[in-house]
Chain A
């Protein structure tokens, strides 16, 4: 089980990967795709496909992809179409908020959870409290 973090900004996902590795440890493969191929803000289907393949290549059975904004979804769909047919079914797209979802998903994956459990953990990020309730 591995994660792919997709953002319109390369810097954003580089920093997020650092956070994920520090919080969850480095046992879960995490690949990133951020920005366009020429370094502008945006997303790149080929870069996303490379990220997904890199996670599958290190032995992950499944990949959960988290994205920052819905406008990344088109590039992501193109990236998935570019994968070998057998690999497409191993990729799942999360609706979770990127930062919180990535951390929750990575910790869940690090304890050996299935992709279903990891996806559920990531989804929980949408309703996670940040400010302590009195």
Chain B
């Protein structure tokens, strides 16, 4: 399992459009990908789950991927989120 930690810096948080782009990007990978915030988690390939997390500005999120293309998936998703987050580790 690979993880990356990010802080949401966009003043709107992760709103509908970037969330949709993120789901579209995650769906291109076979790995199971999860996004976590404050002990809650959502399937990164489900827009409804992601919007349900209501990711707000200045919060920390963790992306985890498990599967054959996990590292590639995390790199692609971090790039997708780049305008909205800063990477912690």
Contact = CB atoms under 8 A, between A and B. Distances in A.
A54 to B, nearest CB: 23
User: What is the size category of the interface that chain B forms with chain A?
Assistant: 10 to 19
A99 to B, nearest CB: 11
Given A108-B47, A111-B27, A121-B47, A24 B20 contact: yes
| Majority secondary structure of chain A interface residues (helix, strand, loop or mixed) | helix
B53 to A, nearest CB: 8
A87 to B, nearest CB: 28
Contacts of B20: 23-25, 103, 107, 110
B52 interface: yes
A76 interface: no
A25 B56 CA distance: 23
Contacts of A104: 47-48
Interface of A: 22-25, 103-104, 107-108, 110-112, 121, 124-125, 128-129, 131-132
B45 A125 contact: no
Contacts of B45: 111
Contact of A128 (B23, B24, B48, B56): B48
A23 B22 CA distance: 11
A110 B23 CA distance: 10
20 contacts: A23-B16, A23-B17, A23-B20, A25-B20, A25-B24, A103-B47, A104-B47, A104-B48, A107-B23, A107-B24, A107-B47, A110-B24, A111-B23, A111-B24, A111-B45, A121-B47, A128-B48, A129-B54, A132-B54, A132-B56
Interface string B15-50: 011001001100110000000000000000111100
A22 B20 CA distance: 10
